[in-house]
Chain A
Amino acid sequence: MNMPNSAASPNAPALTNGSGAAAILAAGIGSFALAVLACAGDKLAAIRNSLIFYKPTGPLSGVTTSAILIWLVSWVIFEWRWRNKTVGIGRIAAIALGLLGLSLLLTFPPIVDLF
């Protein structure tokens, strides 16, 4: 008996998951970079001063600009590597969500004050 081809099944994905995984992991990395930079800038004067890209906004300008660059560069790299591949999305999504969760914690001032 011929089994239906998985590609013809209505529930078979038409696209590989690599591109989505790249976007999700990069978003996690970008969020985490922002949280780490904000925390580092809060604790170390040298880093805080080096993050002043636009004086009226202060270190926030460097924290966010650097994090956005890290996010976009990592996204481009992952997209380039995984675009047409099927990757282990469960593990990647767990890492990305873990990074996002840590980021939310690291931006909460009472937690930053613990360091």
Chain B
Amino acid sequence: MEITVRGLWTLMHGMGFGALYLLACSGALVELHRFTTSSPPSEATPGQERFFKVYLLAMVVLAWAAVLTGAYVVYPWYRAAPPPGTTALAMFPQRLLMSSSTTIGWHSLGMEWKEHVAWFAPISITMVAFVFIRYGRDLKNHRQLRAAVLSFAVASFVAAGIAGFCGAMINKYAPVQGGHTIQLSQGEEK
């Protein structure tokens, strides 16, 4: 069992940071709603509030890690231009997708959308985390502020979902590969 360095970075970007962020989003939406609308006696304890602040900060780190590794580590490999005359395009995912009418949409729609929409996730969740850390449970007394924060949190989830879906599909049709091979385990011959 082995994986290439580029494959490993793509895995960290998509499955490590991106998918974990998406998983965290659903929990954050529920907790944001609960923390900012609940009334006594179901009110959260200070310990729970502190935990949720750390949870949101972890989401901020995950979101920024996902877009930065995507844009500055994986994307250059994706958009690399092949030397003139190259016919084997497996190492050039963008050109591989563009070489067929059945896959070009994954670049012209999927990647063109993903590469920009993904950035709304870290911008939005950074704002959400800042507002929650600053206001805490006092947010329940700011109805319109709370509604706006929840809307941005939903937008962050949607943006990350679009990016995740497009990324998964692009990697299915034209995986980023190459670089050194890392041997994960030695399989036994049948």
Contacts and interface: CB of A to CB of B under 8 A. Distances in A.
Interface of A: 11-15, 17, 19-21, 23-24, 26-27, 30-31, 34-35, 38, 54, 56-58, 60-61, 63-64, 67-68, 71, 89-90, 93, 96-97, 100, 103-104, 107-110, 112
A56 B74 CA distance: 10
Contact of A15 (B138, B148, B149, B158): B138
Given A21-B145, A96-B148, A97-B148, A60 B123 contact: no
Contact of B79 (A34, A58, A110): A58
For A24, A61, A67, the residue with the greatest tally of chain B CB atoms inside 10 Å of its CB is: A24
Contacts, number: 110
Nearest to A11: B141
Interface of B: 67, 71-72, 75-76, 79-80, 108-109, 112-113, 115-117, 119-120, 123-124, 126-127, 130-131, 134-135, 138-139, 141-142, 144-145, 147-149, 151-152, 155, 158-159
B145 A17 contact: yes
- Can you list the 4 inter-chain pairs with the closest CB atoms, starting with the nearest? A56-B76, A93-B148, A27-B127, A13-B141
Contact of B119 (A19, A24, A34): A34
* Interface residue SS majority, chain B: helix
A110 B112 CA distance: 10
Contact of A23 (B108, B116, B130, B151): B130
B146 to A, nearest CB: 9
17 contacts: A17-B142, A19-B131, A20-B145, A24-B131, A24-B148, A24-B149, A27-B123, A27-B124, A31-B124, A56-B80, A60-B75, A89-B145, A97-B148, A103-B120, A104-B158, A108-B117, A109-B112
